[in-house]
Amino acid sequence: MNVDIQLSEKSSSCEEQPQKLQHVDSVSDMMELLNIDVELDSSSANREESALICSKNVMRKQRNWERRLEAKKSKRKEEKLRRRQNQQEKDVDPQFSKRVIKAITRERLEEARTSGPRLCVDLSMTDCMSHKEISRLAGQIRRLYGSNKKALQPFHLFLSDLKKDGLLYRECIRMNDGFLNYMIDVTEESWIDLFPSQDIVYLSPDASEALERVDEDKVYILGGLVDESIQKKISYTRAKELGVYMARLPIDEYMVKKPNPKNFHSKILAINQVFEILLKFRDTGNWITALGAGIPAGKGYVVSSEAVQR
């Protein structure tokens, strides 16, 4: 009897053991599931934080890449211009030494200061421009002067409203080697006080009348604004208020819009580009030749076939 009771107790004990073990396993499983949930939540938060950091890094890298790309483009343009200028110097008759060429150039510029047509760059609008735009304007002044030095019929050049304590003056000295020795009349005075109003022709793309010729007794004023400026008609408005005669390059009379993928067309030119067109017109007396050579292809204009056939 005792044996049976003991066996029964052992049997009961053995049956309860798996049940207890099952209970322990169930609790353990639940704890593991809770741990997994916690880990998943933590992992999700970490992924979101990593994604945000990654996005910021991508944006920063994109901005840096765009700045480097812009700097490379500017450097390529300057290098292209230097190569062109060097090639032009090589094309000069080799029988003349550099000293002779320099003397001839100086003689031409001196003659232009006494008898050539006058051209003045109006620099009174630098307050409307950013630092970057002012630096670009300083570069355009350098190229304008370089074109005048190489011209067979140079202009008598003026820079008006150029303040010696201003940013543009400092940029001209920093960016342009020998700027202080340029054969240009530099003044802080306004162009309206320098020349008789009846002699002035203010060149503006917004003028209604087209320029027909370049007269020796006129003064041609170029507004010193770069093409990045978002301000519209600043020089035109001022010239109109002062009552001086205004004219535009005859682009509409000799050129037409050329279809392009971006559907972009612009008559806004840098001051050195306008100046090169005037120089070419003085040499050839032909607007088709001058405009065809001076208007960059990227502006979306080409000489019209009708103009060529006239």
Can you tell me the distance from the alpha carbon of 5 to that of 9, in angstroms, rounded to the nearest whole number? 6
Q: Tell me the backbone φ, ψ of residue 41, rounded to 5 degrees.
A: -60, -45
The pLDDT of residue 3 is 42
- DSSP 8-state secondary structure symbol assigned to residue 190: -
Q: Could you tell me which residues come within 8 angstroms of residue 122 by beta carbon, excluding any fewer than 6 positions away?
A: 160, 161, 191, 221, 222, 223, 224, 235
Q: Average pLDDT, stretch 8-19?
A: 48
Sequence spans of domains, the chain? 92-249
Are the beta carbons of 120 and 220 closer than 8 angstroms?
Answer: yes
Max mean pLDDT among 6-15, 259-268, 274-283, 301-310 falls in 274-283
Q: Average pLDDT, stretch 99-119?
A: 87
pLDDT higher than 50, residue 24:
no
Q: How many CA atoms, within 13 angstroms, populate the side-chain half-sphere of residue 234?
A: 18
Q: Average pLDDT, stretch 139-162?
A: 95
The pLDDT of residue 305 is 83
Q: Under DSSP, is residue 228 helix (H, G, I), strand (E, B) or coil? A: coil
Q: Which of 220, 214, 209, 192 is nearest to 250 (CA)?
A: 209
The pLDDT of residue 123 is 96
Band (21; pLDDT cuts 50, 70, 90): very low
More confident residue, 37 or 161: 161
Band (5; pLDDT cuts 50, 70, 90): very low
pTM for this entry: 0.68
- DSSP 8-state secondary structure symbol assigned to residue 210: B
Question: Which of 90-94, 175-179, 189-193, 205-209 comes out lowest in average pLDDT?
Answer: 90-94
- DSSP 8-state secondary structure symbol assigned to residue 117: P
Q: Average pLDDT, stretch 212-226?
A: 93
CATH architecture of 92-249: 3-Layer(aba) Sandwich (3.40)
More confident residue, 230 or 224: 224
As a whole number, the mean pLDDT across the chain is 82
Band (190; pLDDT cuts 50, 70, 90): very high
Token pair for 133: 């735009």
Question: Which of 169-178, 212-221, 223-232 comes out lowest in average pLDDT?
Answer: 223-232
Q: Under DSSP, is residue 151 helix (H, G, I), strand (E, B) or coil? A: coil
Q: Average pLDDT, stretch 288-309?
A: 89
Can you tell me the distance from the alpha carbon of 266 to that of 123, in angstroms, rounded to the nearest whole number? 22
Can you tell me the distance from the alpha carbon of 281 to that of 14, in angstroms, rounded to the nearest whole number? 114
The pLDDT of residue 225 is 87
Q: Which of 157, 136, 135, 133 is nearest to 146 (CA)?
A: 157
pLDDT higher than 70, residue 127:
yes
State the amino acid at position 35 in one-letter form.
N
The pLDDT of residue 231 is 63
The pLDDT of residue 236 is 87
Question: Which of 19-33, 69-83, 198-212 comes out lowest in average pLDDT?
Answer: 19-33
Q: Tell how many helices (H) and how many strands (E) occur in the chain.
A: 10, 8
User: For the chain, what percent of residues have pLDDT higher than 70?
Assistant: 74
- DSSP 8-state secondary structure symbol assigned to residue 94: T
Q: Average pLDDT, stretch 215-234?
A: 82
Question: Which of 24-33, 158-167, 284-293 comes out lowest in average pLDDT?
Answer: 24-33
- DSSP E strands: which ranges in 9-161? 118-122, 156-160
Q: Are strands 255-257 and 301-303 parallel, antiparallel or unpaired?
A: antiparallel
Q: Average pLDDT, stretch 71-96?
A: 65
Question: Which of 3-12, 17-26, 129-138, 161-170 comes out lowest in average pLDDT?
Answer: 3-12
The pLDDT of residue 9 is 46
